[in-house]
Structure 1
């Protein structure tokens, strides 16, 4: 690189961040309350500061300057001058090197030291610290985002045909010994044909990755010898986590996405815009806090020294500020255009939709995304809760968003555990939770259905542990949910009892069949396809080890075990059945008002005697068997399906509604290896804890 100028030209206030134009780099940083901003340049190792240059202009609260001859690879950070008045919300301290909020790549890692904090001394956060933090800080890197996408085309899988696989990028492949050691746990592994083939066999259409934005290893975890595994502690909204790049190139992400697209799979990123890693007012000064604390964070009115915490992480990002909202939107568009991701899952989405009066489906955040010509066309998923007042907002998000449905999770778990009075709840979940989502012309896909997710028990642990075991998290088992609607089915944890093991496997298959037989969008937790266990840990956020990683071996809970192979095969069959049979994945809510065949409505509910459920039957607390009949017009005629579910502890005989139809038994959770067969009788024996799918096709000529 040629020698750099000893001062900056005025440059432009947009775009924000460091932008290379082929001849130099423009730097632009928003701060409404700063008095002066210095650009700090570092040597190639990122250790020695080689220049400190004032951004010479400020336009519309954006400090900016242009550095001729600068090129991609330049390492930089900022020092921001302004008032240090915590009681007024201002925490400027130029002794702290700050990461550019728009940095697209990071150099170095965060090294915990007291110098990272803006305060010091007996006055707590009212004190002022003069130690330089640069040696402990990661720095930004100027990038060139050019990439040859060739003939890449986003799969654009319709929502009603979407099957999501939620996984952790590192945990997915770190134990795969058929990959090069350097590639394990990175985007390079995600791009490997063997990993993609596994997902294809399951019938997955979308991979949802836990946060891949750069994140901090929280100090309290480091001091306990633990690590932030999940990544919900954002350090940068634009830069990827450096550990996830096997060779340090951003193109590794693009290659992975291009290969997944070629295989017909979409990529959804779990993103965390509700809080950052700077924690509460007593947290470190790494970026936003030192750039403009009172703009980037929500502060308690009249007590601006303190952060509003509606996330449980110490701070809440101030999405209502136009420049902060711009940062979030710019980040989303960057990932959508530069990396071509297909969607986003918003962590604590209720926090993003909060206005001064509380959660608002017409908030600036939702409105900005819904009108955006790029983002509005992507798959948008919200986690519809936070810990603030009125924070539980399931079903209340605006059109265009789908939502994680914890009601589905809980009702399905409780039904298959054998709880009483679950017929109405289960029926609602099978029907796409229409009582929650059938408003404002939303569709069943608005409900993201899941039995297990990264937060909570795995599917295997759900049937193996009655109580959580989070002792290895170092919080005396106080963390994580206590009521998981789980059951060990005879013995807590691992067992060699074949009866208990067989029961557990049967119930897992029944729950998976319910998941893939329900209207809405199914989501499978990575590793559940072969019985991954976390040893009863239902909050493994800090376990970057074999507790959380997917096991590709042939031991218990591994992909190569007999049970693992069998369960993966069963899921593949269930997802194939979902693709093949429209009645399992309707694009519209069904209310029994349409009749694809005379006197056969699009949805009906029956008891074990083949009779329509009466009000008394619906509310019978001992009713643990349910028959769902659905009908839909297809090109071949009318498809009619029966989903038989027996959540009780006894085998039951079920009289089939419309026994004269040519029923085919497509899938049976009690006999997972059974091939499709013609049903010869009007009464089916339905074993305990099992589900069965029957399908009949009435041809056009037979409808006359």
Structure 2
């Protein structure tokens, strides 16, 4: 523990920086005098430009800082000169004031005064400029070679490392941190008049996970200045790919303003994925083509409108479980300096942070003001930015009450009753890294979940690693073992085989080991449990037999995903055979490793994969039996004994309990199109074709007897993944009761014919 004398010495060394000028101009620090703020109002939080009834235009500033002793609002001109304005009004722990003449585009931040006492969790330090948690836009970034020591609340280079975080750093951080921007977000009433939200029902949804920057960064038909931006994603060339593919929603990797970790910056890398949020209301400035003084807000809205006009919903991947401030040795950027104890979960030793996220800190969502921050942010993105839903990163961390995951937690309760949020798409990543954090199947009705048990089963089946087919049966038919409770529906399961985190689909069939050397962490990062199979060679190869097998495996995986009951999620580029060269943790690779290679569309072998994917999605949209709104019953619905779902062995017989437990590489799934639950838009019963899907993971062909009456009289082959070109031959018909040869490692989809 450092002595008081040691801390005084450090304070004296930096005192001039705190008491004197604070902005650097031509190497000289200077500060402009500030004018007193008017009282203003405590609501709403954040910086809100307005014109009062007296005609005076200005901005109201309001900041929750419960334990603070004083708050200074700091304004910055274009040269970086700072003027400070003390907020003297305090209402219900909210510091507020109105400054006339402060217009949209003004950059600002806060300095919050209070006691420096890390041992009790108090880390106030007015030398540090803090980002407004409610800032609608953010201007600026951190240095390319690492965060400056001034950005830390403690003396980062203190010689006694065990007490480094206890010694307050008095150097000014303002020249080194981004600033909030005042935005005129009370838009005219007609701004959204031309916006038509698609409102696709869950059962009809096909989700496409993409990265705003990486999706268009190399697109040849998008102007270079728009590539990698919101405007680039709104470009007709980008939207054309999405509509040709047939997806109904894009799930955008984090677009909240985020920061780059210091250890990455020092290695010449950046946080590419963006799971390091620091501004929950601000679109990430790095994705804006039009400017960062508020223009990014309008550009984001224009992107949403363009996607909506194409019938595509916008879902945001949001990170409310932790922030970019990390643990006690992390930087001081916003919440840590506003009220560390009020915003973060701390251990019994309040100097330390409770970490259920693996990122150093966890937001204390049980606290009313933290819960309000999150829900205010969510409502803002829905009502003012036009988004249609959210995927919650490490959602189990948000559902923790005191320590345990609690499905009656304040966060889940508030979402369930909120008139705005309960109407949008809600997707949970149903786990965190803490004890008891794995909660797949446990989230309450209203929520859907990423189903990693689907991912694992499908990967294992196609590498012939499942001990039997029980798990596969559940996953193909909607995972009723996980979700058939509380009135939940099959679309509670978001089925995926790949996601941003892990191998791409092509790498899944090309690598058995991760190859993350480019990340600079000695290949120690990323999961070792990939459930992948390289088809006989590690990495890229000229062996055409291996290459052909890999392409077949890709067709098998995509076909399985798009024929399964539940909501399928594709990852951008998997339909093109995108590779990350074996990197299964490309979070810091803002380069060709992560960007989509649009040249793949010019290669016939990969273009064929795209065409198959689009054909399967179209087939799914056309046939409600492939996107059921209710779980299968397995019971007969007619006198002939025909059931809505039946399972068959290669002998053409229905599977028995013994068959489910026996090792097998082949599974036949019969989907009946009769009496599908629900009604069409005219109120009539839903009738559809019936299908038989045969999945065979064995390395040799197998003879499969097609089930006879009452199941079918004839069958017609619709999809055969053993063929490179799906439309190269006419559909093939077979009589029921006859044996057909299913090629090695293939899926056959057969339509039942009368």
TM-score, normalised relative to structure 1: 0.96
Describe the SS at the equivalent of 1:393: coil
Q: CA deviation at 1:128?
A: 1.2
Does the 8 Å contact 1:637/1:697 carry over to 2?
no
The question of 1:114 aligning with 2:149 is answered: yes
Counterpart of 2:743 in structure 1 is: 687
Describe the SS at the equivalent of 2:408: coil
Does the 8 Å contact 1:5/1:68 carry over to 2?
no
Counterpart of 2:696 in structure 1 is: 646
Does the 8 Å contact 2:716/2:753 carry over to 1?
no
The question of 1:43 aligning with 2:77 is answered: yes
Q: CA deviation at 1:680?
A: 2.7
The question of 1:79 aligning with 2:116 is answered: no
Counterpart of 2:591 in structure 1 is: 545
Counterpart of 1:658 in structure 2 is: 708
Residues 637 and 393 of structure 1: is their aligned pair in 2 closer, same or farther, counting only changes over 3 Å? closer
Does the 8 Å contact 2:624/2:688 carry over to 1?
no
Describe the SS at the equivalent of 2:457: helix
Counterpart of 1:300 in structure 2 is: 347
Q: How far apart, in 2, do the equivalents of 1:381 and 1:407 lie? A: 16
Does the 8 Å contact 1:414/1:422 carry over to 2?
no
Q: How far apart, in 2, do the equivalents of 1:439 and 1:476 lie? A: 45
Does the 8 Å contact 2:33/2:84 carry over to 1?
no
Residues 504 and 597 of structure 1: is their aligned pair in 2 closer, same or farther, counting only changes over 3 Å? farther
Q: Which moved more, 1:344-353 or 1:69-78?
A: 69-78
Q: How far apart, in 2, do the equivalents of 1:664 and 1:262 lie? A: 37
Q: In the TM superposition, what whole-angstrom CA distance separates every residue of 1:389-447 from its partner, at most 9, and x where no partner exists?
A: 10100000011111111111110001000124241111110011110111111111111
Describe the SS at the equivalent of 1:21: strand
Task: State which of 66, 73, 76 in structure 2 corresponds to 1:32.
Answer: 66
Task: State which of 625, 637, 661 in structure 1 corresponds to 2:666.
Answer: 625
Describe the SS at the equivalent of 1:435: helix
Residues 663 and 323 of structure 1: is their aligned pair in 2 closer, same or farther, counting only changes over 3 Å? same
Q: How far apart, in 1, do the equivalents of 2:449 and 2:540 lie? A: 34
Describe the SS at the equivalent of 1:182: helix
Task: State which of 648, 665, 673 in structure 2 corresponds to 1:606.
Answer: 648
Q: How far apart, in 2, do the equivalents of 1:285 and 1:529 lie? A: 42
Q: How far apart, in 2, do the equivalents of 1:174 and 1:280 lie? A: 33
Counterpart of 2:23 in structure 1 is: none
The question of 1:144 aligning with 2:184 is answered: yes
Describe the SS at the equivalent of 2:587: helix
Q: How far apart, in 1, do the equivalents of 2:488 and 2:698 lie? A: 34
Q: How far apart, in 1, do the equivalents of 2:195 and 2:553 lie? A: 41
Counterpart of 1:268 in structure 2 is: 315
The question of 1:673 aligning with 2:726 is answered: yes
Does the 8 Å contact 1:605/1:627 carry over to 2?
yes
Does the 8 Å contact 2:34/2:84 carry over to 1?
no
Q: In the TM superposition, what whole-angstrom CA distance separates every residue of 1:98-149 from its partner, at most 9, and x where no partner exists?
A: 0000001011112311011111234411111110000001001000121622
Counterpart of 1:90 in structure 2 is: 122
Q: In the TM superposition, what whole-angstrom CA distance separates every residue of 1:608-661 from its partner, at most 9, and x where no partner exists?
A: 01101112211112x110000111336684532111100111101111113643
Q: How far apart, in 2, do the equivalents of 1:105 and 1:688 lie? A: 55
Q: How far apart, in 2, do the equivalents of 1:103 and 1:637 lie? A: 51
The question of 1:174 aligning with 2:209 is answered: no
Q: CA deviation at 1:259?
A: 1.1
The question of 1:129 aligning with 2:132 is answered: no
Describe the SS at the equivalent of 1:469: coil
Does the 8 Å contact 1:113/1:136 carry over to 2?
yes
Residues 663 and 94 of structure 1: is their aligned pair in 2 closer, same or farther, counting only changes over 3 Å? same
Q: CA deviation at 1:243?
A: 1.2
Q: How far apart, in 2, do the equivalents of 1:420 and 1:365 lie? A: 38
| Paired residues for 1:454-469 under 5 Å | 454-469=500-515
Q: How far apart, in 1, do the equivalents of 2:602 and 2:116 lie? A: 59
Q: CA deviation at 1:5?
A: 8.1
Counterpart of 1:578 in structure 2 is: 620
Does the 8 Å contact 1:577/1:666 carry over to 2?
no
| Paired residues for 1:280-679 under 5 Å | 280-301=327-348, 303-553=349-599, 558-595=600-637, 598-621=640-663, 623-632=664-673, 633=675, 637=687, 639-658=689-708, 660-671=712-723, 672-674=725-727, 677-679=731-733
Q: Which moved more, 1:3-12 or 1:338-347?
A: 3-12
Residues 594 and 341 of structure 1: is their aligned pair in 2 closer, same or farther, counting only changes over 3 Å? farther
Counterpart of 2:247 in structure 1 is: 204
Counterpart of 2:86 in structure 1 is: 54
User: What is the Cα-based RMSD across aligned positions, in Å?
Assistant: 1.5
Q: How far apart, in 2, do the equivalents of 1:499 and 1:115 lie? A: 57
Q: How far apart, in 1, do the equivalents of 2:468 and 2:520 lie? A: 36
Describe the SS at the equivalent of 1:299: coil
Q: How far apart, in 2, do the equivalents of 1:200 and 1:697 lie? A: 31
Structure 1: gaps (5+ residues): 699-704
Q: How far apart, in 2, do the equivalents of 1:190 and 1:638 lie? A: 36
Counterpart of 1:701 in structure 2 is: none
Residues 141 and 658 of structure 1: is their aligned pair in 2 closer, same or farther, counting only changes over 3 Å? same
Residues 583 and 218 of structure 1: is their aligned pair in 2 closer, same or farther, counting only changes over 3 Å? same
Aligned length: 688
Describe the SS at the equivalent of 2:446: coil
Task: State which of 133, 140, 146 in structure 2 corresponds to 1:101.
Answer: 133
